[in-house]
């Protein structure tokens, strides 16, 4: 009986050690992936600079190139474990993939001013969208990425005004409205995604204020300068 | 154009659900509660590609959450029934055969109903995606099975045995239950699982029982493959029952068995100690609870040894607990006794 118990625990111990090694391998690849993700973000951050806003297409091109590295890293990652054990190690790359999904959707937005679909983002990362097809992008991770996009765009709205681009905040505002109504369709559980979504309204408020500011100063670029009464609902205007 | 959209968005962003509700119901003020309404209204609104995409995400998320909730529910039921089986096993004194038979029957029916439900829920899914939903139930179940097998055979449940128990034949469920009952009635002891393994292909590689598992199935069988960690956590819980059983036995006046139990417990404890902290926080916590249980048992044995001959048997239990260690944190044992 003694040996039997010992054998059981020895086997379990071996199992643990093996698992530990595998996780270490995964962590290493994820670390490299994170590095690339940071590089992409650095490139994309140039849009906030006064000059950067004018060369958006260049910035997007450069960051798209970096996504080639991401693809190869993810391929490497996917080869480390059987496809049906994705969720066993999910925690290791969850955050990283969220950031990458954010970068990808930001690129799509900058290029065509619309919301990236999950398929597009998956294409960027070189993964699939369906669980059954191997390494995929988890829906919640993708949605996390979109919420980060909302956050980034509220910053971009402010900075584009500083850079003298008065039409962009208005377009961003419209976009955010759509994003928000999309998210309101979801029945979120009380988890991290829900918390992030709750933060979206502050981003929207911020953009509203920007739109308000440029509107009352007659900075709106188009001819449609009709003042909209619903604007008066914006409570905080002491921004400037 | 941009202006128009901004307008819509402004109201949209500012007051939740505002524009849609007003579209349909005039100037009704918006109550935060009426979610159904909002969805209904949204369908009337022109569906942009974004909204269409989000509809898809919505149904996918709902599907996942529903499955999760169902698993949580089943897990809770498994926990309740497993706890009851454990209580049943604690009632053994003297007439052990009858209790064991009943326990086996109940374990079997627990497997055939609730646990096979978990298995079929997880069919074709990644087990680890939902593991948080059903892991408490599973651990409680393992605790019950290992306790049962320990009482019956005096052995530690192995991962292989549990894997066999968690393989369900899709058609022959009922027949198997009957087989089992017949077996038990005949007083057949040994490994009841053996009869199963002949008709069910063993999915595990015998060389490496700890091959990491997922939920798999073929046409005839459905199996819930247990992650070794869950199995180990279940075993850790089982040692709490062992401690309780040891104390009860002292109460009933048996002065031999406690020493055997302590021996067994020491072996198990040694096993857990050698795992260190690589197995996760939960395991570390359970190991330390186990050490407390072991200490309680050792103290009890000490009292028997030193004073056993001086005190009437029926008072031993009280004495064993009135000595110096009565001040120690007794929560775990208390909880199990409730």
Q: Tell if the CB–CB gap between B10 and A173 is shorter than 8 Å.
A: yes
Q: In what order do the strands lie in the sheet with B167-169?
A: B167-169, B221-223, B216-217
> What would the pLDDT profile of A204-221 be if each residue is shown by its tens digit?
999 999 999 999 988 887
B3 touches chain A (CB under 8 A): yes
Nearest to B65 among A117, A181, A189 (CB): A189
Q: How far is B311 from chain A (nearest CA, A)?
A: 33
The answer, yes or no, to whether residue B33 has pLDDT greater than 70, is no
Higher-confidence position of B253 and B90: B90
For A12, which of B12, B129, B210 is closest by C-beta distance?
B210
Residues A187 and B65: beta-carbon distance below 8 Å: yes
**Judged by CB atoms within 8 Å, which residues 131-150 of A form the interface with B?**
131-132, 139-140, 143
What is the value of ipTM here, to two decimals? 0.83
Say what the pLDDT of residue B96 is: 78
Q: Could you read off the pLDDT of A143-201 as tens digits, one per residue?
A: 999 999 999 999 999 999 998 889 999 999 999 999 999 999 999 988 899 999 999 99
Quick one: which of B45, B116, B54 has its CA closest to A118? B54
Q: Give A148→chain B minimum CA distance, Å.
A: 16
Task: Tell whether the model's pLDDT for residue B66 goes beyond 90.
Answer: yes
Which of A108-112, A180-184, A201-205, B312-316 shows the lowest per-residue confidence on average (mean pLDDT)?
B312-316
Q: Would you place residue B220 in the very low, low, confident or very high pLDDT band (cuts 50, 70, 90)?
A: low
Tokens read off for A184: 């309101």
The band of B219, judged by pLDDT with boundaries at 50, 70 and 90, is low
Q: Is B29 in CB contact (< 8 Å) with chain A? A: no
Residue pair A116/A105 in contact (Cβ under 8 Å)? The answer is yes
Contacts of B218 (CB under 8 A, 6+ apart): B201
Q: Which residue has the higher pLDDT, B257 or A99?
A: A99
Q: What is the pLDDT of residues A55-69, one digit of tens each?
A: 888 999 999 999 999
pLDDT at B317: 65
**Looking at beta carbons, which residues of chain B come within 8 Å of A214?**
none
Q: Please give the residue of chain A at the shortest CA–CA distance from B60.
A: A139
Most confident of A180-184, B173-177, B203-207: A180-184
Rounded-to-integer distance, Cα B268 and Cα B143, Å: 14
Chain B residues closer than 8 Å to A116 by CB? none
* Rounded Cα gap, residues B199 and B136, in angstroms: 30
B96 versus A217: which is more confidently predicted? A217
Cβ separation of A230 and B11 shorter than 8 Å? yes
CB contact under 8 A, B14 and A176: no
**Model pLDDT, residue B308:** 66
Assess whether pLDDT exceeds 80 at residue B156. Answer: yes
Q: Give the closest of B13, B39, B53 to A204, CB-based.
A: B13
Q: Calculate the average pLDDT of chain B.
A: 72
**The predicted structure's pLDDT at residue A190:** 84
Please state, in angstroms and rounded to a whole number, the distance separating the CA atoms of residues A49 and A209: 21
Q: How far apart are CA A59 and CA B118, in angstroms?
A: 49
Across B245-251, average pLDDT: 85
Q: Is B10 on the interface with A (CB under 8 A)?
A: yes
Mean pLDDT of B5-10: 43
Reduce the DSSP state of residue A136 to 3 states and report it: strand
Chain A residue numbers with beta carbons less than 8 Å from the beta carbon of B161 are none
Q: Do A184 and B55 touch (CB under 8 A)?
A: no
Contacts with A139 from chain B: Cβ below 8 Å: 57, 60-61, 64
Contact B50 A201 (CB under 8 A): no
**pTM attached to this predicted model:** 0.75
**Two tokens at B300?**
């009890």
Please check the confidence at residue A226 and state whether its pLDDT lies above 60. Answer: no
Please answer yes or no on whether A9 and B6 come within 8 Å at the CB atom.
Answer: no
Give the H or E element holding residue A140.
helix A139-162
**What are the pLDDT digits (tens) for B271-300?**
888 887 777 888 989 999 999 999 999 988
In this complex, is the C-beta atom of B132 within 8 Å of any C-beta atom belonging to chain A?
no
| Number of Cβ atoms within 10 Å of the Cβ of A136 | 21
Q: Give the residue from B103, B109, B105 showing the smallest Cα distance to B86.
A: B103
- Say yes or no for a CB contact (<8 Å) between B6 and A170: yes
**Structural contact between residues A44 and A106, judged by C-beta atoms closer than 8 angstroms:** yes
* CA–CA gap between residue B57 and residue B65 (Å, rounded): 12
CA pair distance B100, B187, nearest whole angstrom: 10
Phi, psi at B289, each rounded to 5°: -65, -40
Q: Which of A6-15, A34-43, A143-152, B10-19 has the lowest mean pLDDT?
A: B10-19
For residues A116 and A104, the answer to whether their CB atoms sit within 8 Å is yes
A208 → closest Cβ in B13, B17, B214:
B13
The interface residues of chain B toward chain A in range 60-99, judged by CB-CB distance below 8 A, are 60-62, 64-65
Q: Which of B57, B214, B273 to mutate to test the interface with A (most CBs of A within 10 A)?
A: B57
Across A29-33, average pLDDT? 95
- Per-residue pLDDT averaged across B202-207, rounded? 39
Contacts of B154 (CB under 8 A, 6+ apart): A1, B264
Q: Which of B8, B126, B274 sits opposite A87 (nearest CB)?
A: B126
């Amino acid at each position: 009986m003694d040996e039997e118990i010992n054998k059981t625990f020895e086997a379990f111990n071996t199992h643990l050690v093996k698992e530990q090694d595998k996780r270490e391998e995964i962590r290493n690849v994820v670390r490299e992936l994170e590095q690339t993700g940071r590089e992409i973000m650095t490139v994309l951050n140039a849009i906030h600079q006064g000059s950067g806003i004018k060369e958006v297409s260049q910035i997007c091109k450069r960051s798209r190139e970096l996504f080639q590295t991401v693809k190869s890293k993810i391929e490497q990652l996917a080869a480390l474990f059987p496809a049906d054990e994705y969720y066993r190690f999910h925690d290791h790359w969850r955050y990283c993939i969220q950031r990458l999904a954010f970068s990808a959707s930001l690129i799509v937005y900058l290029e065509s001013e619309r919301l990236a679909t999950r398929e597009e983002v998956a294409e960027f990362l070189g993964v699939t969208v369906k669980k059954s097809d191997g390494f995929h992008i988890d829906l919640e991770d993708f949605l996390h990425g979109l919420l980060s996009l909302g956050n980034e765009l509220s910053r971009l709205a402010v900075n584009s005004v500083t850079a003298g681009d008065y039409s962009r905040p208005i377009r961003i505002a419209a976009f955010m409205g759509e994003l928000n109504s999309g998210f309101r369709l979801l029945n979120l559980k009380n988890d991290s995604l829900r918390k992030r979504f709750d933060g979206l309204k502050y981003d929207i408020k911020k953009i509203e204020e920007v739109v308000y500011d440029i509107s009352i100063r007659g900075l709106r670029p188009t001819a449609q300068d009709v003042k909209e009464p619903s604007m008066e609902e914006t409570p905080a205007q002491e921004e400037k | 154009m941009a202006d128009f959209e901004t307008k819509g968005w402004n109201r949209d962003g500012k007051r939740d659900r505002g524009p849609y509700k007003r579209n349909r119901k005039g100037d009704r003020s918006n109550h935060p509660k009426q979610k159904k309404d909002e969805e209904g209204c949204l369908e009337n609104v022109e569906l942009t590609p974004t909204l269409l995409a989000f509809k898809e995400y919505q149904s996918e998320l709902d599907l996942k959450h529903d499955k999760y909730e169902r698993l949580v529910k089943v897990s809770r039921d498994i926990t309740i029934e497993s706890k009851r089986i454990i209580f049943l096993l604690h009632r053994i004194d003297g007439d052990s055969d009858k209790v064991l038979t009943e326990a086996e029957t109940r374990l079997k029916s627990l497997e055939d109903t609730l646990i096979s439900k978990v298995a079929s829920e997880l069919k074709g899914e990644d087990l680890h995606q939902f593991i948080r939903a059903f892991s408490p139930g599973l651990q409680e179940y393992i605790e019950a099975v290992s306790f049962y097998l320990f009482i019956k055979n005096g052995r530690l449940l192995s991962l292989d045995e549990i894997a066999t128990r968690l393989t369900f034949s899709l058609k022959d469920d009922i027949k198997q239950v009957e087989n089992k009952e017949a077996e038990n009635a005949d007083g057949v002891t040994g490994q009841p699982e053996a009869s199963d393994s002949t008709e069910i292909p063993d999915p595990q590689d015998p060389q490496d029982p700890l091959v990491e598992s997922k939920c798999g199935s073929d046409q005839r069988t459905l199996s819930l493959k247990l992650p070794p960690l869950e199995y180990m956590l279940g075993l850790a819980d089982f040692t709490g029952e062992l401690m309780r059983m040891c104390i009860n036995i002292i109460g009933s006046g048996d002065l031999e068995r406690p020493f055997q139990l302590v021996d067994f417990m020491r072996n198990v404890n040694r096993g857990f100690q050698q795992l260190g902290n690589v197995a996760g926080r939960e395991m570390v916590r359970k190991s330390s609870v186990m050490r407390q249980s072991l200490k309680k048992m050792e103290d009890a044995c000490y009292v028997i040894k030193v004073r056993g001959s001086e005190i009437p048997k029926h008072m031993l239990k009280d004495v064993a607990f009135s000595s110096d260690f009565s001040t120690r944190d007794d929560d775990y044992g208390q909880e199990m006794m409730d």
